Structures are given as C-alpha cells and as structure tokens.
Structure 1
C-alpha cells in the first residue's frame, strides 16, 4: 500500500532537505520511493512543496487532491493553502510559525487571523511550536529536522536508522544537534 507525505513551507525553511532525508531513509529501508518538488519563488519566500510517496511499488510521485496521508506544514498559512490535498482521515502537523508574504510586507493585506483554529476545525491537525524548540537547541535552522521527526513518528517509521541518515547528510558539527532535533520532533506528536 502506497503512503503519501506532503511537506509544505516557504523558501529557506529547509523543506527540501527534510524531504531528501526522508526519501533517503525510506529507500534504505527498502521502500520504492518517488519524490516530487515544487519550488515556487522559493528564494523570495515563496511557496515550496515536496511530495514523497512510498510503498512496495509506487507508480507516480504526484499526490492528488485528497490523497495525502499526512500534511506537514513548516508555516501555518501554507497548511491552509495545501489542506485540500489531505485525505479526510489524514493527519496534519502544523508549525505555528508565520512568514509574511510580499503582499503582507507591502501592507496590502494583513496576515490572516485564526488559522490554527480553522485548521483544527477542518482536519485532524496537531499544532506544534518547532521554532521555539529549535531555538532552545541553539539553532533555529533545525526546525526542519524537528518537523521531519513529526513525520517519522506519525507514519510509524521509527525503525529506520535516522541517526545514520542524518550523519551521512549534514555537516559533522551539526550531527548531534540534528539527531536531538529529530527526537524532539518525534516527542511532539502522539
């Protein structure tokens, strides 16, 4: 049976690195894996999404509307934007984090209020504060690995050797911090 994971965020949040680590771990565990990335204007704070599908035999990397088992959003407005891709019984993990888009920065519109409430009302959504946890670890850049940890736990992928995957893909001086970030993420979801 094929499982579908949708990771969404804003350029610069590490969404693509998280999806590459996830894909590497799934392949090493023997799954057939397909991954598709969409970089909007990622370098300018635009929307970024990564679709990861895995199972015994995966035909397509594309997740259709209503097809994601889990939606992990690195920024809460992106969660709302991509929510229609979540299966009715799917789970959303949302980082309670705001990045203001250009229209907001230019004063044309305000950042929407009540997003978390709307997400919880519309889906099985868990709101987490990965930014604060990352700062407590001493580096806000590990927010993406905390969010990856939520995917690992939510999808029951704890048996994969994530320490090995992280060690092989991040700079040596950041390995321990990233492993700790993964554990924190896993502890943030039930």
Structure 2
C-alpha cells in the first residue's frame, strides 16, 4: 500500500473543493497514476461539509481513505481541518487555509466556534502549512480562486512537472477564468516555498 498517495480535501459547500479534486485527479492521471475519487456532500449548498478523497498510484482498488492514512490533507477552512486531522499519517502534510466559515449551529447560538484550532493543530501535526488563501485569491483577482491557491501549495509536494498542473488547469477551468486562476495557482506555489 506504500505506493498509494492519499489526498483528502475538506471544506464547506461553495469553496470549490470538488473542482480542486478534479484538477488534482487530472494531474495525477496525466502522470500515469490509476486514480480513484470519492465525494461526500453534507448539505453542501447550505454551507455543510464537503469532503473529497483522492487516491492515486498503482492498483488502487478503493477511493476510501481510512483514519491515519492521508499523506496530505488540504483544508479549505479551519474547523474542517480540525474535524479531519485524525485522517493524517504521522508524517503527512496538513495544508490549512485560515478562513473561518461559521456553521449554522454557531450562528443560532447553540455552539461556539473554537478559538484555538490553529494552535492545537500546530501542536499535533509535524508537517503543517498555514496560509491565508482567501487573501491570495483576492490578490489574483477573485476570492473564489482560493481552491486553486491551495492546489498551488499542494503542487510543491506532489512532484508532478509544472506543465502537468498547467494542463490540468487548462482542462478544468473555464477559459474566461483561466488567467486569474493561473495567477492564483502561482501565488500558492510561491507561498509553499
């Protein structure tokens, strides 16, 4: 099972988690990997969790990643990073967008949003990257490109050639949004250095 790379993308409905997973899947297939992908939508259109599991390698039989098996977790939102951190391998990489999206239970006053998420994760995870992806996406021209910023960060760890990622963006991003998404991707790459 060591030849399998497991990537968990976690976020909230509307953040582009699924598009990001399609970009990753396209890039992995271009590198000759067998790829399996699974999506879980929890009331995604209403701000619920969206989780995508991408497994790539030789002889990938299942799209499901078990707790403690993710090589990478890309968290589009703080609370989702916290909820899914137990899926990360001991030497795995956690990439966290610092954005907070307050769930309905917090909005109605039934719960409070935890204030120590980022510091708790820093203590628990050895290979931890934290960034303000929303700010970088806004610099690129559209806050909705946060997902592509995060793919830029992930690309620094995936060892795929730069052209592979460029081709994946070309294939999955509408032409009218391609330039700003390429800029967002490049800002993510620069942030990962």
Same-fold call, TM cutoff 0.5: yes
Q: Equivalent residue for 1:103?
A: 105
Gaps of 5+ in 2: none
- 1:38-187 map, 5 Å: 38-123=40-125, 124-187=127-190
Q: Secondary structure at the match of 2:172?
A: coil
Q: Equivalent residue for 1:29?
A: 31
More divergent stretch after superposition (162-171 vs 59-68)? 162-171
Deviation at 1:160, TM superposition (A): 4.7
| 1-structure distance, mates of 2:65, 2:167 | 28
Q: 1:144 to 1:63 in 2, by over 3 A?
A: same
CA displacement, residues 48-78 of structure 1 (integer Å, 9 cap, x when unaligned)? 1001111122121110010000111000100
CA-based RMSD of the aligned residues comes to: 1.1
- Check conservation: 1:71, 1:91, Cα contact below 8 A: yes
| 1-structure distance, mates of 2:28, 2:133 | 23
- Check conservation: 1:32, 1:54, Cα contact below 8 A: yes
| 1-structure distance, mates of 2:65, 2:30 | 22
Q: Structure 2 length normalisation: TM-score? A: 0.95
Gaps of 5+ in 1: none
Q: Secondary structure at the match of 1:92?
A: strand
| 2-structure distance, mates of 1:101, 1:158 | 38
| 2-structure distance, mates of 1:158, 1:116 | 31
Aligned length: 190
- Check conservation: 1:150, 1:186, Cα contact below 8 A: yes
| 2-structure distance, mates of 1:46, 1:92 | 21
Q: Secondary structure at the match of 1:6?
A: strand
Q: Secondary structure at the match of 1:111?
A: coil
